[in-house]
């Protein structure tokens, strides 16, 4: 699709940026795309410089979202799981190059997996099936079934975005530690970084509550926004079930900004480089650390990004590590009631969060070059 570039000479110090608040900009986008709510934050030098929330926690109720509400991160969880894995690698408990037969020596494993590495599971190069193909909530049963069945296509021949790879990789960590992925995340990441608001699954604690204490997810039912407090089943946790406040998500994002600059913390500087480097054969510039790595002028080079949805919520993050900055955008809106793989409502939600990212880029990071892909804002 042809790109149409429009050069706009304005910056964060422009009259427009001074007169229009972030809250006003978000409300314009929220109303344009008919979202229940929209929240965004700008992180710079370890401090949240701008943050705003607009809209309601649940359609049909007047309770407003706040900047201290918890939001579902969807597949933005993936980088957290990969970072957890890097801790085990730093401790010498496994390697990025460890093969599936080495990780699961007791299992019957399809011959096509003999050379698939731990790193491939995170970078979507394993060729692994995209669905479980078995009714189970036990990671051990799911892993055994998947590895016996074999891949969807020959490993490391094409990109195939798959949540299953993260399920299998996380189960390898569970086998080594004797602890569940949830416990490992809580103990080794959330507690360590004082991400006290973080948890798993739906942010809405009780479907019977009269006044929502946290944002509910929403889908479109024939054009009507419908609240729902469900989430994907726990077995998909490593691929996308974390929720938290923006201020706590920022602590994790800052960890990766510091790591980009060579600072060891929860993991070594060497591991951060691996987590943030594009897998050699990746066609979509995906890293072994659960990030897309792209080059952006407004970032002065490398930018790390991801989005996530459980079809009821949507999250998006862009990191400009050279500028020691990041942008986080979340909404409690997903897609249509029946997801077909080509979901117009979900596409609109994606466009809305993209526009919010663009607002924060223009307010804080970029002086020129706004790119439009026909109707699509493309940071």
Taking every pair of C-alpha atoms in the chain, what is the biggest distance, in angstroms? 65
Smallest CA-to-CA distance from 150 within 133, 137, 166, 163 is with: 133
Do 44 and 102 lie in one domain? The reply is no
Do 299 and 350 lie in one domain? The reply is yes
Do 27 and 102 lie in one domain? The reply is no
Q: Among 143, 165, 185, which residue terminates a domain?
A: 185
Show contacts of 10-13: CB within 8 Å, 24+ apart.
10/362, 10/367, 11/362, 11/366, 11/367, 12/362, 12/363, 12/364, 12/365
Do 178 and 203 lie in one domain? The reply is no
Show contacts of 197-201: CB within 8 Å, 24+ apart.
197/70, 197/244, 197/245, 197/247, 197/248, 198/242, 198/243, 198/244, 198/248, 199/70, 199/242, 199/243, 199/244, 200/234, 200/237, 200/241, 200/242, 200/243, 201/231, 201/234, 201/241, 201/243
Do 29 and 176 lie in one domain? The reply is no
Per-residue pLDDT of the chain (379 residues; tens, 9 = 90+): 222 222 232 333 444 445 899 999 999 999 999 999 999 999 999 999 999 999 999 999 999 999 999 999 999 999 999 999 999 999 999 999 999 999 999 999 999 999 999 999 999 999 998 889 899 999 999 999 999 998 999 999 999 999 999 999 999 999 999 999 999 999 999 999 999 999 999 998 777 888 999 999 999 988 899 999 999 999 999 999 999 999 999 999 999 999 999 999 999 999 999 999 999 999 999 999 999 999 999 999 999 999 999 999 999 999 999 999 999 999 999 986 655 555 777 889 999 999 999 999 999 997 544 433 333 334 6
Do 153 and 288 lie in one domain? The reply is no
| pTM of the entire predicted model | 0.92
- Is residue 362 situated within a structural domain? yes
Q: For the chain, how many structural domains are there in total?
A: 2
- Is residue 173 situated within a structural domain? yes
Q: Each residue of 239-252: b (16+ CB within 10 Å) or e?
A: bbbbbbbbbbbbbb
Do 70 and 91 lie in one domain? The reply is no
Question: In which order are the strands placed within the sheet that holds 242-245?
Answer: 70-72, 242-245, 199-200
Q: Among 140, 166, 185, which residue terminates a domain?
A: 185
Do 212 and 168 lie in one domain? The reply is no
Smallest CA-to-CA distance from 240 within 333, 167, 161 is with: 167
- Is residue 166 situated within a structural domain? yes
CB atoms within 10 A of CB 105: 8
Do 23 and 125 lie in one domain? The reply is no
Residues of the domain holding 238: 4-77+196-377
Q: Which residue has the tokens 């699961």?
A: 104
Do 138 and 206 lie in one domain? The reply is no
Smallest CA-to-CA distance from 281 within 186, 159, 181 is with: 159
Q: What is the DSSP secondary structure assignment for residue 75, as one 8-state letter? A: G
- Is residue 334 situated within a structural domain? yes
CATH of the domain at 258: 3.40.710.10
- Is residue 91 situated within a structural domain? yes
Do 236 and 294 lie in one domain? The reply is yes
């Amino acid at each position: 699709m042809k790109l149409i570039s429009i050069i706009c000479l304005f910056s964060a110090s422009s009259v427009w940026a001074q007169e229009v608040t972030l809250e006003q900009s978000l409300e314009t986008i929220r109303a344009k795309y008919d979202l229940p709510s929209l929240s965004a934050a700008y992180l710079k030098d370890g401090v949240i410089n701008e943050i705003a929330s607009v809209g309601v926690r649940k359609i049909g109720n007047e309770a407003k979202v706040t900047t201290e509400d918890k939001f579902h991160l969807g597949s933005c969880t993936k980088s957290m799981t990969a970072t957890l894995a890097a801790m085990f690698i730093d401790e010498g408990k496994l390697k990025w190059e460890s093969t599936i037969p080495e990780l699961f020596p007791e299992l019957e494993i399809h011959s096509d997996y003999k050379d698939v590495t731990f790193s491939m599971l995170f970078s979507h190069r394993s060729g692994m099936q995209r669905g479980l193909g078995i009714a189970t909530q036990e990671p051990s049963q799911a892993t055994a079934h998947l590895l016996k069945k074999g891949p969807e296509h020959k490993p490391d021949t094409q990109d195939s975005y798959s949540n299953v790879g993260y399920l299998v990789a996380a189960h390898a960590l569970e086998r080594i530690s004797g602890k569940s992925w949830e416990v490992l995340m809580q103990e080794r990441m959330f507690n360590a970084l004082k991400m006290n608001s973080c948890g798993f699954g739906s942010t809405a604690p009780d479907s019977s509550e009269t006044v929502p204490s946290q944002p509910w997810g929403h889908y479109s039912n024939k054009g009507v926004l419908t609240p729902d407090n469900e989430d994907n089943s726990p077995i998909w946790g490593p691929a996308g079930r974390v929720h938290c406040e923006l201020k706590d998500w920022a602590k994790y994002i800052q960890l990766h900004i510091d790591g980009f600059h060579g600072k060891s913390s929860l993991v070594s500087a060497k591991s951060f480089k691996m987590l943030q480097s594009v897998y050699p054969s990746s066609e979509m510039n995906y890293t072994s650390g659960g990030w897309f790595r792209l080059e952006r002028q407004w970032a002065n080079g490398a930018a790390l990004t991801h989005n996530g949805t459980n079809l009821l919520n949507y999250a998006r993050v862009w990191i400009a590590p050279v500028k020691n900055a990041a942008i986080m955008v979340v909404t409690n809106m997903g897609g249509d009631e029946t997801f077909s793989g080509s979901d117009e409502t979900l596409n609109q939600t994606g466009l809305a969060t993209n526009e919010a990212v663009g607002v924060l880029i223009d307010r804080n990071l970029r002086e020129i070059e706004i790119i439009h892909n026909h109707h699509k804002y493309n940071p």
